[in-house]
Structure 1
Amino acid sequence: MSRTHALILALALPVLAVPAARAQYVGPSDVAAADSVAAILADPVDDRDVTLTGVILRKLGDEMYIFSDGTGEIRVEIDDEDFPASPIDESTRITLRGEIDKTLMADPEVDVDVIELVR
């Protein structure tokens, strides 16, 4: 093997040894891992990311629902395509991830991005 080939091989081996999957950061974060409806209603911060676990109590209209986590009730907007394949009713525990939508003339609500069934 020539010196050039040996040098190329020596430089390439560390690159090839890097694992295909990368670990993700799992330490502390400034983003709250979980919230409560009561805390959101007491201090709604527009566009703040939130995570809520509870149930949908009822449908208000097109993509609008009332959600409760046991600490209070809040309107949530959920796009039809964001619902899981499994049916959800008022007894199905779910986790919602989204952001607070606060306006001057209305109560705060949550614009939901992700719904997960709680197992």
Structure 2
Amino acid sequence: MNKVLLVSVLVLASSSVFAGQTTENKGGFIGPSNVKVQTVAVALEAKDDTQVMLTGYIDASLGDEEYKFRDDTGEIIIEIDDRDWKGVEATPETKIVIQGEVDSGWSYTTIDVDSVRLAK
């Protein structure tokens, strides 16, 4: 009987510890970034896999998750997977910030976007 009571107390105590925990992923770092590439002109010259953070506008959808993106320095093709929009809606007049990396090959340079947010 005492063993059953002890086990019951332990189960109740441990369940209350875990009750406040969730599996939902929230938050993250907010602060300075070490990303040096912040314009389309520099991104077009950057090496493959270089991290970028660009502020500008999407002018057009090119289909297959590709878009024409522009800032004050030029235009580049970007790829945004549907899951990476995370609820952001944009028109050609909506200023956004994209983060991702350069994807360059023999005859092309694009940006593989990891996140999209509205510019402040």
The normalised TM-score by structure 1 is: 0.69
Identity %: 40
- For the residues of structure 2 that align with 1:28 and 1:64, how far apart are their CA atoms? 26
**Offset of 1:110 from its aligned partner?**
0.2
Output the CA distance in 2 between the equivalents of 1:27 and 1:56: 25
Report if the CA contact (8 A) 2:88-2:116 is conserved.
Answer: no
Tell me how far apart the structure 1 counterparts of residues 33 and 118 of structure 2 sit (CA, whole Å): 25
- Partner-residue secondary structure (3-state), 1:85: coil
1:98 CA displacement: 0.1
Deviations 1:15-72 (CA, angstroms, capped at 9, x unpaired): xxxxxxxxx7x6784x32x51111122x221000000000000001110000001210
Opposite residue 82 of structure 1, the aligned amino acid is D
Q: How many residues in Structure 1 have an aligned counterpart in Structure 2?
A: 92
Query: Whole-Å Cα distance in 1 between the matches of residues 115 and 57 of structure 2?
Result: 14
Q: Tell me by how many angstroms 1:118 deviates.
A: 1.1
Choose which of 23, 37, 40 in structure 2 pairs with 1:37: 40
Structure 2 unmatched runs, 5+: 1-28
**Residue equivalent to 1:64:** 66
SS at match of 2:83: helix
Between the aligned partners of 1:28 and 1:81, the Cα distance in structure 2 is: 23
TM-score between the two structures when normalised by the length of structure 2: 0.69
> What is the 5 A alignment of 1:96-115?
96-104=98-106, 106-115=107-116
Shift in alpha-carbon separation, 1:107–1:117, aligned structure 2, 3 A: same
Between 93-102 and 80-89, report the one with greater CA deviation: 80-89
RMSD of equivalent CA atoms: 2.1
Q: CA deviation at 1:84?
A: 3.6
Q: For 1:21-100, list aligned pairs within 5 A.
A: 29=34, 31-32=35-36, 34-41=37-44, 43-100=45-102
1:74 alignment partner AA = I
Unaligned stretches of 5+ residues in structure 1? 1-23
